[in-house]
Amino acid sequence: MTDPFEARGMRDKLVNSLRQKGITDEEVLRAINTVPRHIFMDPAFMHHAYTDKAFPIAAGQTISQPYTVAFMTSLLKVKKRHKILEIGTGSGYQAAILAEMGAKVYTIERCKELFIKSQQTIATLGYNIHFFFGDGYLGKPEYGPYDGIIITAAIPEISETLLKQLKTGGRLVAPLGEGDVQIMTLVERSGSDTYNYSSHGTFVFVPMLKGTVN
């Protein structure tokens, strides 16, 4: 893995711009400053890796904007050794940020090409992340319950199936809605049958689709 000096300088600037946009979680900012985002992107877009923008990856999908990754990760309140389920591995960048923060990461992707490619990228960085090929609508109950669940595709509604995979005290963060924009939603499980929902602004995500593609 090559992480040139210039890339490190660009990450410093990116982190400063995220601070200016209101990100305050120092562990999140440290992880963004550490993980080389350019290796998750198509080499054609490499010079864009440290601008605060979403970019195309394979299979018509996108790597989320750094601000969005930082914002969602802050809402999750990740602590070391937290067990976190990510739905929508994509490039693997969000999973790497969580792993860099010391979380035990389980991530699901429905698209075979991305499932394979993201593992190759993560292998060059050496994070220990558990990858699964499958439909994230089902979650991964056999490894749960989780301290946090992060959904990185637009989900029309949050099912009981996923909510039940949260620990009591656990947090689920997802862009909720079917339209052109989604509402960033935090669900906190405060008891076995009590869930508190809160809204955190609007974002644009690719849709979460059912089933898998080979």
Give the HSE-up count for residue 129: Cα atoms under 13 Å, Cβ half-sphere: 32
User: What x/- string results for residues 2 through 41 when contact with ligand SAH is judged by CB under 6 A?
Assistant: ----------------------------------------
Cβ-based nearer residue to ligand SAH, 1 or 213? 213
Q: Is the peptide bond before 156 cis (omega within 30 degrees of 0)?
A: no
3-state secondary structure of 37: helix
CA dist 119 and 38 (Å) reads: 15
Give the HSE-up count for residue 30: Cα atoms under 13 Å, Cβ half-sphere: 9
Cβ-based nearer residue to ligand SAH, 170 or 175? 175
User: What x/- string results for residues 112 through 151 when contact with ligand SAH is judged by CB under 6 A?
Assistant: --x--------------------xxx--------------
Min separation Cβ 50 and ligand SAH, Å:
15
Give the residue from 63, 132, 127 showing the smallest Cα distance to 98. Answer: 127
Q: How many residues bind ligand SAH (CB under 6 A)?
A: 23
Is-catalytic flag, 64?
yes
CA dist 48 and 178 (Å) reads: 29
CA dist 214 and 205 (Å) reads: 22
Matching residue, tokens 């059912």: 210
Matching residue, tokens 């974002």: 203
Cβ-based nearer residue to ligand SAH, 10 or 209? 209
Q: Decide: 44 and 58 in contact? Cβ < 8 Å.
A: no
Residues 43-102 that bind ligand SAH (CB under 6 A): 61-64, 87-88, 90-91, 93-94
CA 9 to chain centroid: 24
Q: Per CB under 6 A, does 153 bind ligand SAH?
A: yes
Min separation Cβ 57 and ligand SAH, Å:
6
Q: Decide: 69 and 11 in contact? Cβ < 8 Å.
A: no
Min separation Cβ 108 and ligand SAH, Å:
5
Q: Which one from 17, 64, 74, 192 is the annotated catalytic residue?
A: 64
Cβ-based nearer residue to ligand SAH, 86 or 147? 86
Min separation Cβ 65 and ligand SAH, Å:
10
E strands, 67-156, are 83-87, 104-109, 129-133, 146-151
Residues interacting with ligand SAH, by CB under 6 A? 61-64, 87-88, 90-91, 93-94, 108-111, 114, 135-137, 152-153, 206, 208-209
Which amino acids are annotated catalytic? 64
